[in-house]
Structure 1
Amino acid sequence: MTEIALEKMRTAVNQYREDSGISIKTLAFALEGTSEQQLRNALNKTDGGPKAVEMLAKLMEIYPIKFK
């Protein structure tokens, strides 16, 4: 996955959080085997690895997150 695509995923998840008021803790809870800190790292660009991509992709499947 390219850095541009990953950035779009991060932006979409962060915008969804702002619009819905759902916390990172709640989003992480929906992802089995993912801690709140792992999700924070994925969203705050401190983790751009395959696990981050996997977490964000799963979130976008679970919640109706749309790209802009």
Structure 2
Amino acid sequence: MNVTINGTAHELPSGATVTQAVRTLTEVRSGVAVAVNDEVVSRGAWDTTALAEADRVEVLTAVQGG
């Protein structure tokens, strides 16, 4: 299935979850927020939120610095 993650097309297996989408970009889970089709998905729901064809996923990471 084809989904867009942070503006780039990615091929994921059918039934892939938000967790799998996040792992295409980073193994870090702390300081990461995710939205699917402009709806925030809580971290506790990542493993059970299945993605569908043409979903848009935004993965945001907190950055420290000054």
User: TM-score, normalised on structure 2?
Assistant: 0.34
Q: Which has the higher Rg, Structure 1 or Structure 2?
A: 2
Higher helix share: 1
Higher strand share: 2
